[in-house]
Amino acid sequence: MRVLIICTEKLPMPPVRGGAIQTYIYGILPQLAAQHDITVLGSADPSLPEEETQNGVHYVRKQGGKLETYRDGVAEYLREHGSEFDLIQIYNRPRLVATVKEHAPQARITLSMHNDMFHAAKIDPEEGAQAVRDVERIITISDYIGQSIVELFPEAASKVRTIYSGVDLDRYQVDSRAQKERERLRNEYGIGNKKVILFVGRLSKKKGADILVRAMTPLAKKHPDAALVLVGSRWFSDDEISDYVAYVRAIANRSPIPVITTGYVPNNEVHKWFWAGDLFVCPSQWQEPLARVHYEAMAAELPILTTARGGNPEVIRDNGAVVDQPEDPDYFAQCISSLLSDRSRLKQMGRAGRQMAESHFSWDRVAREVLDVWE
């Protein structure tokens, strides 16, 4: 088939500037391209040409930024090329469905949903209902996302299917090289023998970094040898730091347990920090679709403590635990404490996570399921 993949207006493809959706698409592209003739339409970037072919995938880039601008670019491309495609898969932008339908009426349309873009705040409910009618299938990255769409549009029920995301199993594989890297990082940051609690993500209230940092004070009573590492978050920088980051920094500076921030870590380096940790904690406070970091922790054999928020608990079985009252730092500390107290259980959870990742969360599996939807 000739397939067009339409990305969002936000970040370019390939994921030279990161992005969960971009990482997802890039992870499955080789397998998709092996079976079909794939064109990827995405947003422009100064470092990338307007059009090119890479590894058998054709890339077309239109000005991004605002959806309205991007949509005009999509329409312009489709006016000329829309009739060439058998299937068009739109990523996370139900607001592009009408444009696609108009300019490529012959194509089958599928939608891949990664967060709450069907919410009334993001799309006019009438337009949303029309988009549901116009698409053949709606792939979602978690049951939670699927359910929240069906709650808004009950008629979507028969079209929704969860396809969990994946992870690069090779990159995160724990081997002798990983062990060396673990030691190097732990020595470099002066946390050699400590129990390292790992947080990876933006410092934001939604992500709950403040709760986690505050949990360190009660945790210190039982685990004075713990350390908290916040990866990917900017502490000191030339840019204006937000008041929230300043707040987290202020409380971290008085933490009895060392709190370390690594600053920005590029996508292709972040796996090393997963190797360096002992317990991965996702303290998210919001109804999160299902954060990618869970798969990464699993692939790196890291036990997970996540929160009963959104889709996050869906990928927790023997590989970790779920905090049901994540807004309470004392309670959070008790949960962390009980896990840290049982080293052998931590190891077991880590191994179970790797097994789950291997059997369920490879990019091959994701690609197979997407191909299955296309057939």
Partner 1 sequence: MAEWLIEPWGDVEGDVPTVPPEIDALAVHVMNQYDMTVSSMQLITTKPDKGGAIWRIDTNHGPRSLKVLHRTPARSLFSVGAQEYLVGQGARVPALVRTKQGDLSFVAGGKMWIVTDWIDELTPATKIDLEGAQALCYGLGEFHRISRGYLPPEGADWASRLHNYPRSYQKVIDKMEWFRHIAELYIDRPASPRILSMIDKYQQQARDTLAALEASPYYELAARGETYWGLAHQDYGWSNGQLGPGGLWVIDLDGVSYDLPIRDLRKLITGTMHDMGTWDITWMKGMIEAYHQANPIEPEMMQVFLIDMMLPNEFYKNVKEMVYQPELFLNAETDAMVERIDRTDASKWPALQELGALDLKTYENKPMYQLNIDTLRENVNKSRWDTQPYAPSAKAPLSGSSRPSIGSGANMTEQRDSSLSWDASSRMEKDTSSTRSNRSSRKVSATKPTITHEKAATRTEKASTRTSSSSRKKRRREDRTAYASSTASQPKPTLQRTKLAPTSSTSSSKKVAKKRSASAGSSRSRTSVRVKTSNAESKPTIIHGKGRI
Interacting residue with partner 1 among 130, 173, 334, 355 (CB under 8 A): 334
Closer Cβ to partner 1, 46 or 266, answer by number:
46
Q: Does 375 bind partner 1 (CB under 8 A)?
A: no
Closer Cβ to partner 1, 87 or 245, answer by number:
245
Closest C-alpha to 137, from 115, 106, 110, 98: 110
Per CB under 8 A, the segment of 5-13, 54-62, 83-91, 326-334 that binds partner 1 is: 326-334
Per CB under 8 A, the segment of 6-14, 75-83, 169-177, 245-253 that binds partner 1 is: 245-253
Question: What is the distance between the alpha carbons of residues 70 and 74, in angstroms, rounded to a whole number?
Answer: 6
Per CB under 8 A, the segment of 36-44, 52-60, 80-88, 200-208 that binds partner 1 is: 200-208
Question: What is the distance between the alpha carbons of residues 74 and 8, in angstroms, rounded to a whole number?
Answer: 10
Question: What is the distance between the alpha carbons of residues 245 and 212, in angstroms, rounded to a whole number?
Answer: 13
Residues 284-303, interacting with partner 1 (CB under 8 A): 285-287
Residues 82-141, interacting with partner 1 (CB under 8 A): 119-121, 124
Strand positions, DSSP E, 85-207: 87-91, 108-113, 137-140, 160-162, 195-200
Question: What is the distance between the alpha carbons of residues 42 and 13, in angstroms, rounded to a whole number?
Answer: 6
Q: Does 80 bind partner 1 (CB under 8 A)?
A: no
State the minimum distance, in angstroms, from the CB of residue 35 to partner 1.
Answer: 25
Closer Cβ to partner 1, 119 or 133, answer by number:
119
Closer Cβ to partner 1, 87 or 335, answer by number:
335
Q: Does 358 bind partner 1 (CB under 8 A)?
A: no
Interacting residue with partner 1 among 13, 38, 138, 321 (CB under 8 A): 321
Question: What is the distance between the alpha carbons of residues 72 and 70, in angstroms, rounded to a whole number?
Answer: 5
Task: Tell me phi and psi for residue 261, to 5 degrees.
Answer: -115, 140
Question: What is the distance between the alpha carbons of residues 323 and 226, in angstroms, rounded to a whole number?
Answer: 19
Closer Cβ to partner 1, 130 or 334, answer by number:
334
How many binding residues for partner 1 (CB under 8 A)?
49
Closer Cβ to partner 1, 101 or 214, answer by number:
214
Structure tokens at 365: 């599996």
State the minimum distance, in angstroms, from the CB of residue 179 to partner 1.
Answer: 28
Interacting residue with partner 1 among 75, 129, 260, 322 (CB under 8 A): 322
Distance between terminal CA atoms of the chain? 10
Strand positions, DSSP E, 55-159: 57-62, 87-91, 108-113, 137-140
Closer Cβ to partner 1, 210 or 296, answer by number:
210
Q: Does 58 bind partner 1 (CB under 8 A)?
A: no
Question: What is the distance between the alpha carbons of residues 105 and 91, in angstroms, rounded to a whole number?
Answer: 18
Structure tokens at 243: 């008041």
> In the stretch 267-286, what mask flags binding to partner 1 with x, by CB under 8 A?
------------------xx
Q: Does 54 bind partner 1 (CB under 8 A)?
A: no
> In the stretch 152-171, what mask flags binding to partner 1 with x, by CB under 8 A?
------------x-------
Closer Cβ to partner 1, 15 or 320, answer by number:
320
For residue 363, give every residue at least 6 positions away whose Cβ sits within 8 Å of its Cβ, in sequence order, or none: 27, 28, 31, 166, 167, 168
What is the radius of gyration, based on Cα positions, of the chain? 22
For residue 119, give every residue at least 6 positions away whose Cβ sits within 8 Å of its Cβ, in sequence order, or none: 148, 152
* Beta-bridge partners for 3: 38, 87
Interacting residue with partner 1 among 176, 193, 239, 375 (CB under 8 A): 239
Closest C-alpha to 282, from 269, 295, 266, 301: 295
Interacting residue with partner 1 among 177, 221, 317, 368 (CB under 8 A): 317
Q: Which residues bind partner 1 (CB under 8 A)?
A: 119-121, 124, 143, 164, 204-206, 210, 214, 238-240, 242-244, 246-247, 250-251, 253-254, 285-287, 308, 313-318, 320-325, 327-328, 330-331, 334-335, 338-339, 356, 360
